[in-house]
């Protein structure tokens, strides 16, 4: 069974501007950040250190360049402690 929402992707024009907004205007914290190349990073923010769900501030231009074009980064990722059971329940 799905027990949590893990990540929600927010596609942004400017990752640094978006990061500044979420951190400095709304008081969120960085949960994870790593460079993904010269012009993009994986940035996750959340309302607190102990909150499980994060927002992924994903580069809109990086998404548009992904190949093949129909393959996209999912906008919502769910979490479960038992993937096999969740799969079986969903396919019934």
Cα(25)–Cα(44) distance, integer angstroms: 16
Tokens representing 28 are 């969120």
Output 89 or 47, whichever has higher pLDDT. 47
Output 19 or 61, whichever has higher pLDDT. 19
pLDDT band for position 35 (cuts 50, 70, 90): very high
Cα(66)–Cα(80) distance, integer angstroms: 27
Supply the DSSP symbol for 61: H
Fold of 2-91: 2,3-Dihydroxybiphenyl 1,2-Dioxygenase; domain 1 (3.10.180)
Q: What is the pLDDT of residue 67?
A: 62
Q: Is the pTM of this model over 0.95?
A: no
pLDDT band for position 66 (cuts 50, 70, 90): low
Supply the DSSP symbol for 49: T
Per-residue pLDDT of 67-79, as tens digits, reads 655 556 668 888 9
Give the domain ranges of the chain.
2-91
């Amino acid at each position: 069974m799905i027990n949590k929402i893990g990540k929600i992707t927010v596609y942004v024009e400017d990752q640094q501007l978006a990061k500044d907004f979420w951190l400095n205007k709304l008081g969120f914290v960085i949960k994870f950040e790593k460079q993904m190349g010269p012009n993009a990073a994986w940035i996750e923010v959340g309302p607190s250190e102990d909150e499980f769900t994060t927002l992924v501030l994903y580069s809109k231009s990086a998404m548009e360049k992904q190949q093949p074009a129909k393959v996209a980064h999912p906008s919502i990722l769910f979490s479960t402690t038992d993937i096999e059971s969740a799969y079986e329940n969903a396919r019934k």
